[in-house]
Amino acid sequence: MPFTDRTRILLGDSAVERLARSRVCVFGLGGVGSACALDLVRAGVGSLAVVDFDVLQESNLNRVTFAYRDNLGLPKAEAFRAAALRVNPEVRVELIPSLVRGSEAADRIPEGCDYYLDAIDTLNPKTNLIVALAARGAPFASCLGTAGRVAPERLRLSSIWESRGCPLAQKLRQRLRRRGVTRDFPAVWSDEPPVPPALPEDGSNPGDVAEGVRVRAVQGSGPFVPQAAGHILASVAVRALLGLPFGGGPGL
């Protein structure tokens, strides 16, 4: 029995065939992106491009869907491809082991994708990516802050300009306005106040630069909110590919 049989009942023959011909790009394979990318494989999307430069660490075990002790140390992109092929041996996965930053963001966007999904969890790369996607007129959706939260029922889907109560969303809106981006796009966000992050264990200060990378505070997280947000993000992409409606504000 094909693994898409239940999807075929849910969405119909033409939808399954459309998804099999589709190509989706996911930026970031953390708690959100890992759940999102695997959902797309399970939904029958035939081709994915995944952009992530990181490797699996023990701290990923509590939320990254394909993180297990026997694949710690592997690049996240390679671990995802292995998991994807276990679901659908025919899925095509392009690995892009790259960090999205600054003026290079536009060069990190793979061509030929039908939809793009932003699951990056840091502000500067997220802003640069969205500016580049908007400039291209590419269809995309973004996930905002999920760390420091425990209540998946407080997740929302709306236009980015309608998001409220999410500090990351607020900062992103401000930066996009300064960069001249006014375009509507779907965003997944939570109005749950986040638990404050912890200071780095090595004694460094957030904002310092070490080996070319800015030091960040350590965010608390669990499986509940990031993975639920990833499920929503994948559903947005599938419905967009199939022309199905979803809530999200005017014009979305």
pLDDT recorded at residue 205: 62
Domains, the chain, ranges and CATH?
Answer: 5-242 (3.40.50.720)
Distance between CA atoms of residues 122 and 142, nearest Å: 12
Residue 213 confidence (pLDDT) above 90: no
- How far is Cα 175 from Cα 172, in angstroms, rounded to an integer? 5
Burial of 210 (0-12, 13-18, 19+ CB in 10 A): exposed
Q: Determine the longest span between alpha carbons in the chain, in angstroms.
A: 56
CA distance 73 to 67: 10
Among 138-142, 183-187, 202-206, the least confident range: 202-206
What pLDDT shows up at residue 4?
Answer: 94
Work out the mean pLDDT of the chain and round it to a whole number: 91
Mean pLDDT of 22-35: 98
* Spatial separation of the C-alpha atoms in residues 82 and 78, rounded to whole Å: 6
pLDDT tier, 209 (very low <50, low <70, confident <90, very high otherwise): low
For residue 250, pLDDT over 90 is answered with no
Write the pLDDT tens digit of every residue in 140-149.
999 999 999 9
Q: For Cα atoms 188, 87, 56, give the angle at the middle one, nearest 5 degrees.
A: 65
Model pLDDT for residues 59-87, shown as the tens digit of each residue:
999 999 999 999 999 999 999 999 999 99
pLDDT in tens, 29-60: 999 999 999 999 999 999 999 999 999 999 99
